[in-house]
Structure 1
């Protein structure tokens, strides 16, 4: 009997080894997720506002779109269209907290969410599913990552968008977070001397848990169906979505106006999700939830 038990034990399959990390720079081809097509492209100036969600723990140990291994305890994120990896500054508009995360995967699956955060990043930011956030690419850090990885021949040039002044104050680290060193006020950037190449920023593989506190600035929720350069085209789309309450909003300098078709303001994320689903079912695949 003992020999039979030992023989059966020897027949058990060996445990599956975790995949090895092989990070690389990637943009990738168009793909479908959650019934919506996404079209990745390199963009180092992206700033967008919308709703966040938390990545499911079942991703733990799986290979990400850029060849890393997902770790729910790391400050990482999923984005539908940005180059990977990218460094993003994510701000919780409802409580003012901001944090740097490393976008290294595609997603999130729900079409009404602009970013999916690892569980640890969500904890530090105080984010739940449907929290209002602003996502901004950090161009210098993202470009440094691209240059250090295979595939950087497709990396976009680093173009920094103008940044307004933001008043911040020290925030006590949330439970379990390591206290960050106090950051001194930055001196004006000095131009490198002639013939001297300015060093690229060093981006650690694992970002530190440094949370900044700004003023909360929640906005109103809208579903944006499309943006047009001609009012008549926007009016045509709005008419097709009249049942959802779509209107046309004009904006931009004279001669270069843009006409947005949007629905709202909507009372809460659940209402925004229902409205987005209605618009997507009507065939407007580029519709999204925005915060203004």
Structure 2
């Protein structure tokens, strides 16, 4: 009897269907403010972003999981996670330590560690020379044209379409006239001259032409290596006294208030460093966050 019961269980287990893999439903997302790793982030649309910092490898490399914008994570694809950029976005990541440069598609939120500017998929990190568990100095720059194309080509559930009611049209009396000579030929010329994106498809069709493919090609470039020094930077102020007030909160970390820009239009930033190693910069960042400087971040200069 026990054997029959066991056999029945085995048959049922063999008949059980494995759940189907999730279907990709990519969409354009900016998103609401959120907290991750103890720090609040405020997503925004930015097609001109250029920033430096430390890059790492995405911790959760599970293939098949759904990303923050509805795509399916593939650790062999050139994808990345960013805390504030619109998704998806195409960015150029440059390893400042060896000069290797690669375009990746931002389709998820992260890094969890507030001291990292971007998390890269396993394949993207491998191509850029980043070891698992390691960090490198990078520059991250949005590729504006491709990112704008994606923003218009994908469904956007955050911004409802603007409803415009047509203006009332009064009845107009008209008389049909015979077409002038050459009218049919002119119509054919106008049709032939119609360009991609012309007509009712408009901006969305034009954007689809320039939108980046969902899986980016592995085009690795090399530029001059430009490693820098690590700093922790707080806020930037229009008045020195406000910057000095923030610096006072970081008194135990030896902050410096630096003036930038021409006289009369100067801004003032609060900085810690430079630091000789990543652990030193991480400790300074942790101290800044504990002191209530929530906008503090690690950068390369």
Q: TM-score range by the shorter chain?
A: 0.7 to 0.9
8 Å Cα contact 2:61-2:121 kept in structure 1: no
Which of the residues 255, 264, 268 maps onto 2:264? 255
Structure 2-normalised TM-score?
0.80
Counterpart residue number, 1:17: 20
8 Å Cα contact 2:148-2:211 kept in structure 1: no
Counterpart residue number, 1:288: 297
RMSD: 2.1
In structure 1, stretches of 5+ residues that fail to align are 156-193
Counterpart residue number, 2:216: 207
- Does residue 149 of structure 1 match 2:154? yes
Q: Deviations over 1:215-268 (max 9, x none)?
A: 000111000021111100101111221101111011012222111101000011
- Does residue 134 of structure 1 match 2:139? yes
Counterpart residue number, 2:77: 74
Counterpart residue number, 1:174: none
Aligned CA distance change for structure 1 residues 137 and 2 (closer, same or farther; 3 Å):
same
Counterpart residue number, 1:121: 124
Q: Deviations over 1:153-177 (max 9, x none)?
A: 859xxxxxxxxxxxxxxxxxxxxxx
Counterpart residue number, 1:181: none
Aligned CA distance change for structure 1 residues 236 and 44 (closer, same or farther; 3 Å):
same
Structure 1-normalised TM-score?
0.82
Counterpart residue number, 1:51: 54
Q: Which has the larger radius of gyration?
A: 2
User: 1:112 Cα shift?
Assistant: 0.2
Secondary structure of 2:227's partner?
A: coil
Counterpart residue number, 1:4: 5
Q: Deviations over 1:108-144 (max 9, x none)?
A: 1000000000000000011243200000000100011
In structure 2, stretches of 5+ residues that fail to align are 161-192, 198-205
8 Å Cα contact 1:146-1:152 kept in structure 2: no
8 Å Cα contact 1:57-1:72 kept in structure 2: no
Counterpart Cα distance in 2 of 1:21 and 1:80: 21
Counterpart Cα distance in 2 of 1:53 and 1:130: 5
Counterpart residue number, 1:41: 44
Counterpart Cα distance in 2 of 1:84 and 1:253: 36
Q: Deviations over 1:14-71 (max 9, x none)?
A: 4333221100001000000000000000000000000001002444211101100111
Secondary structure of 1:144's partner?
A: helix
Counterpart residue number, 1:176: none
Structure with higher helix content: 2
Counterpart Cα distance in 1 of 2:292 and 2:21: 40
Secondary structure of 2:272's partner?
A: strand
Counterpart Cα distance in 1 of 2:159 and 2:130: 33
Counterpart Cα distance in 1 of 2:226 and 2:211: 31
Counterpart residue number, 2:187: none
8 Å Cα contact 1:97-1:213 kept in structure 2: yes
Matching of residues 88-237 of structure 1 within 5 Å: 88-128=91-131, 129-151=134-156, 154=159, 200-237=209-246
Counterpart Cα distance in 2 of 1:9 and 1:3: 10
User: 1:283 Cα shift?
Assistant: 1.1
Counterpart Cα distance in 2 of 1:59 and 1:37: 25
